[in-house]
Amino acid sequence: MITAVAEEKEHYLNASYGLKSWLLTKDHKRIGLLYLATITFFFFIGGAFATLIRLELLTPQGDLVSAETYNKLFTMHGVVMVFFFLIPSIPAVMGNFFLPMMIGARDLAFPRLNLLSWYLLVIGGLFAIFAMVAGGVDTGWTFYTPYSTTYSNTWVIATALGIFVAGFSSILTGLNFIVTVHRMRAPGMTWFRMPLFVWANYATAIIQVLGTPVLAVTIMLLFCERVFHIGLFDPALGGDPVLFQHLFWFYSHPAVYIMVLPGMGVISELIAVFSRKAVFGYAFVAFSSVAIAVLGFLVWGHHLFVSGQSLYAGMVFSFLSYFVAIPSAIKVFNWTATLYKGSISYATPMLYAFGFIGLFTIGGLTGLFVACLGIDVHVTDTYFVVAHFHYIMVGGTLMAYLGGLHYWWPKMTGRMYPEGWAKISALVIFLGFNLTFFPQFILGYLGMPRRYHVYPDEFQVLHVLSTAGASVLAVGYLMPMVYFIWSLKYGKVASANPWKAPGLEWQTASPPPVHNFDVMPVVRNEAYDFSTTVGEAVEVG
């Protein structure tokens, strides 16, 4: 036993042992795994809420849970999934683990701040869990006033404070990434040699740092209104309820890009590595991330087309919203063009990348419908919108997250996941997802409003299809959970670079040593130059 340990090379997982070595770690890789455990926990809580919602909607009557409970379920599903899963997901897990490695750094710029960010997410999460256990909250994740400030008698304050605290986790992570990208790049790692995953996380970090403080301010105002009745949002106190919507969406629309941009970064990596081609139009893809980050701040008013804001405001916001379509389209076209004359592997991460492109395309194109004033009046606050944003958030971000997790799993754990099972689960998730959410587009256009506990009979067939899809989807999500854990002990031992990928994170051992690289890397090639890692001449250990 002792000799076996002595023979094993030291890496970040076996360098030290014990709870303390994890809870006080400053290693970005270990913090990445702490985030992984945390958000996986929240993902399954949010998923459990979703399951109950879909079961309730199997029949038009409210027969499984009461109206109060149903309202709490969709609220907590949204709060947990948005603030405690999607927003941290890719940046906090994969960005934390791989952003420093991809630019040849030993760690993030501020390792202690990084650990603090994780604790803030956990503390925020504890507030949210307290609110759920104590009785839940029923305002919808959007907390619209004056319902949330004056009328709801549920745990609004505890939930809002949880989001407030978790927001600082997001701000500090973004700050850390920005400084790291500016200051910690290895020699030769110029801006235009950076992997597109780094570009995407950099653009995301800009939104996190500039946008999240507005959320913090909004939550504080909500808090003051609810506790001290200061009269900002409730007309009975002299306030304006639509003001809250402006403030809320000023953060929460850019937050959509906090959730999806890192996923786009993952997809750029996957498409390049599994077709062994440099991403087509690298600079266009890189700048389209920044363009989305900037434009994302100018379109919040498209959530308010029927709120009573002026017709001209509606017109301006619709016009600006269409500009977001251009960088999004550029990405999709460039990913597709990257496949041209590639060497395309069907490994699981690539299946997720294909899935992402398909589902994000549908999600993005239906975004054109909701940005269209004449259509949005009819479909806003219906299941059409529910379907649209789940295609972006689940079909996009979650597919990218799972694709990235499979891709980097060998590096993170030193073990391969079981390829056969992984392919099956990717297929199950893709089919389950479409069966769940595609019928909701039709439901929405038919007029089924969102957040309805009971509904007219004529919508039942589509709801049954959606619930059936959700059951398939649930199975699809449980499979990776099982085989990832299984692989930790029984998975094939991974080599340093099982995909023959050119990224710096693959030019070191799996799992990586504590300081990432035994020899400080010097970068001489552009990103995605496969000539150094593929071919007869190259031997990969």
Q: In angstroms, what CA-CA distances link 194 with 99, 103, 128, 191, 306?
A: 10, 7, 37, 5, 43
Please say which residue, 105 or 295, places its beta carbon nearer to another protein: 295
Residue 173 contacts another protein per CB under 8 A: no
Please say which residue, 3 or 153, places its beta carbon nearer to another protein: 153
Please say which residue, 161 or 385, places its beta carbon nearer to another protein: 385
Binding mask of the shown chain, residues 379 to 408, with x at each position contacting another protein by CB under 8 A: -xxx--------------------------
How many residues are recorded in the chain?
A: 541
324 membership: H or E segment, kind and range:
helix 311-339
Residue 188 contacts another protein per CB under 8 A: no
CB of residue 394 to another protein, shortest distance in Å: 18
Q: Which residue has the tokens 């455990």?
A: 37
> CA–CA separation, 509 vs 57, rounded Å?
49
Residue 230 contacts another protein per CB under 8 A: no
Choice from 8, 9, 151, 518 touching another protein (CB under 8 A): 151
Choice from 44, 110, 147, 486 touching another protein (CB under 8 A): 147
β-strand partners of 382: 449
Q: 353, exposed or middle or buried, with CB in 10 Å at 0-12, 13-18, 19+?
A: buried
Residue 403 tokens read as 């694709």
β-strand partners of 415: 493
Using CB under 8 A as the binding rule, the residues of this chain from 87 to 126 that contact another protein are: none
| Helices of type H across 372-504 | 373-379, 383-392, 399-413, 419-446, 460-490
Please say which residue, 211 or 403, places its beta carbon nearer to another protein: 403
CB of residue 438 to another protein, shortest distance in Å: 12
Residue 319 tokens read as 């016009």
Residue 339 contacts another protein per CB under 8 A: yes
Q: In angstroms, what CA-CA distances link 105 with 21, 29, 148, 179, 413?
A: 22, 12, 45, 12, 20
Choice from 318, 466, 497, 507 touching another protein (CB under 8 A): 318
Residue 52 contacts another protein per CB under 8 A: no
Q: Measured in whole angstroms, how far is the alpha carbon of residue 209 from the centre of its chain?
A: 17
Residue 535 contacts another protein per CB under 8 A: yes
- How many other CB atoms are there within 10 angstroms of residue 151's CB atom? 11
Q: Which residue has the tokens 């997410």?
A: 121
Using CB under 8 A as the binding rule, the residues of this chain from 484 to 523 that contact another protein are: 500
241 membership: H or E segment, kind and range:
helix 241-275
Is the distance from CB of 473 to CB of 429 less than 8 angstroms? yes
Q: Which residue has the tokens 């505890």?
A: 158
β-strand partners of 99: none
- Pick the piece of the chain touching another protein (CB under 8 A) from 9-17, 38-46, 62-70, 167-175: 62-70
Choice from 111, 140, 213, 513 touching another protein (CB under 8 A): 140
CB of residue 465 to another protein, shortest distance in Å: 10
Q: Long-range contacts: 385-390, Cβ < 8 Å, 24+?
A: 385/444, 385/450, 386/437, 386/440, 386/444, 386/450, 387/437, 387/438, 387/440, 387/441, 387/443, 387/444, 388/363, 388/441, 389/256, 389/363, 390/363, 390/436, 390/437, 390/440
Please say which residue, 123 or 375, places its beta carbon nearer to another protein: 375
Q: What angle do CA 106, 112, 114 make, to 5 degrees?
A: 75
CB of residue 325 to another protein, shortest distance in Å: 5
Binding mask of the shown chain, residues 252 to 291, with x at each position contacting another protein by CB under 8 A: -----------------------xxxx-xxxxx-------
CB of residue 329 to another protein, shortest distance in Å: 5
Residue 62 contacts another protein per CB under 8 A: yes
My answer on whether omega of the bond before 511 falls inside 30° of 0, hence cis, is yes
β-strand partners of 449: 382
Is the distance from CB of 255 to CB of 397 less than 8 angstroms? no
CB of residue 355 to another protein, shortest distance in Å: 10
Please say which residue, 70 or 202, places its beta carbon nearer to another protein: 70
Please say which residue, 187 or 235, places its beta carbon nearer to another protein: 235
Choice from 48, 242, 290, 298 touching another protein (CB under 8 A): 242
Residue 340 contacts another protein per CB under 8 A: yes
Using CB under 8 A as the binding rule, the residues of this chain from 350 to 379 that contact another protein are: 354, 357-358, 361-362, 365-366, 368-369, 371-378
Please say which residue, 85 or 354, places its beta carbon nearer to another protein: 354
Please say which residue, 187 or 238, places its beta carbon nearer to another protein: 238
CB of residue 372 to another protein, shortest distance in Å: 4
Is the distance from CB of 429 to CB of 402 less than 8 angstroms? yes
Residue 457 contacts another protein per CB under 8 A: yes
> CA–CA separation, 149 vs 292, rounded Å?
33
Please say which residue, 116 or 523, places its beta carbon nearer to another protein: 523
Using CB under 8 A as the binding rule, the residues of this chain from 3 to 42 that contact another protein are: none
> CA–CA separation, 492 vs 531, rounded Å?
27
Using CB under 8 A as the binding rule, the residues of this chain from 409 to 448 that contact another protein are: 442, 445-447
CB of residue 43 to another protein, shortest distance in Å: 24
Please say which residue, 208 or 252, places its beta carbon nearer to another protein: 252
CB of residue 191 to another protein, shortest distance in Å: 17
Amino acid identity, residue 474? Answer: A
Choice from 127, 250, 455, 483 touching another protein (CB under 8 A): 455
Please say which residue, 421 or 438, places its beta carbon nearer to another protein: 438
DSSP secondary structure letter of residue 21: H
Choice from 133, 235, 492, 518 touching another protein (CB under 8 A): 235
